[in-house]
Amino acid sequence: MILSMAEALGSRAILATRSLGKMGMFLGASLSRAAVPPYRVRNILKQVHFIGVKSVSVIVLTAAFTGMVLALQGFYTLRKFGSEGLLGSAVALSLVRELGPVLSALMVTGRAGSALTAEIGIMRIGEQIDSLETMGIDPIRFLVAPRLLAFLLSVPLLTAIFDVVGIYGGYLVGVKLLGVNAGVYLGQMEASVELVDVTNGIWKSLAFALLIAWVCTFKGYFTRHGAEGVSHATTSAVVVSSVLVLICDYFLTSVLL
């Protein structure tokens, strides 16, 4: 009984280590292909369009309502302490340091990451990736590297858009709806937000971009077992990426603060 439990535990540990090793090797291969020319500029731009441009509407919508709800909650909380004037800095700091990078990453995972996993997964089960191999075309260079670079370019820009729109959403609710003075809202924001807050947010978004691209391409690339496998890979990619983004956020925050 104890022996079989130990065996099962050991077997799981070996499997987990092997999977981690495989993921690590995949990341190494992807980064090395992405770093070394030739760069597939057209392919990268196509992916930037898909991951970045097509995500703008969902990012704008999410950011606007996030900023608005932050202002709403913040206003009533700050009013208890007579500090409504700090609303601008509360909204801006929350967005720039935390919510902008995290929510942008989660939105991109849901919209583009899942599609990416499904696309690569379908190519795997349809033998299209094998077909690339037989033509002497490196599938990691052809499929993964441009997507990885596109994520690294798009996610920080989407985060910047999220921050700006979120702050404006907070402005609309705080100033136009709840009557906070516009000058105070903007002035407090300008006084409290420092460059390091913005750069830390961008570093986070870069880390999240790498994480999402890594997990989603990996899950798609190693899809097995037909349509059900694609469905499983897509779900798993979204769940694992989202959870890892939140975990990574905690550790990055503790390091960057």
Partner 1 sequence: MQAGNDGTQAKLDPPAPNGKDWVCKPCSVEPYTGEKREPVLRLIDVEKTLDGKKVLDGVTLEIPRSQITAIIGLSGAGKSLLLKHMIGLMKPDRGLVLLDGVDINRLSREGLYEARKRFGMLFQTGALFDSLTVFENVAFPLREKTDMPERELREKVRRILRHVGLENAEEKFPDELSGGMVRRVALARAVVMDPEIILFDEPTTGLDPIIRNSILHLICRTYHEHHFTMVMISHDLPDIFQWCQHVVVVHDGKVVEVGTPGEIRNSVDPFVRQLVDGDIAGPVQLM
Place of tokens 């700006």: 164
43/181 with CB nearer partner 1:
43
Tokens describing residue 179? 């009557």
Residue numbers at the binding site for partner 1 (CB under 8 A): 122-123, 126-128, 130-131, 133-138, 142
14/246 with CB nearer partner 1:
14
136/179 with CB nearer partner 1:
136
Q: Which SS3 state, helix, strand or coil, does residue 228 take?
A: helix
- Which is nearest to 61 in space by CA: 15, 114, 90, 103? 103
133/194 with CB nearer partner 1:
133
Distances (CA, A) of 50 to 6, 45, 141: 47, 9, 18
Q: Cβ distance 71 to 64 under 8 Å?
A: no
Distances (CA, A) of 68 to 18, 86, 87, 182: 45, 15, 11, 15
Q: Cβ distance 109 to 205 under 8 Å?
A: no
Closest distance to partner 1 from the beta carbon of 136 (Å)? 4
138/190 with CB nearer partner 1:
138
- Which is nearest to 72 in space by CA: 212, 196, 176? 176
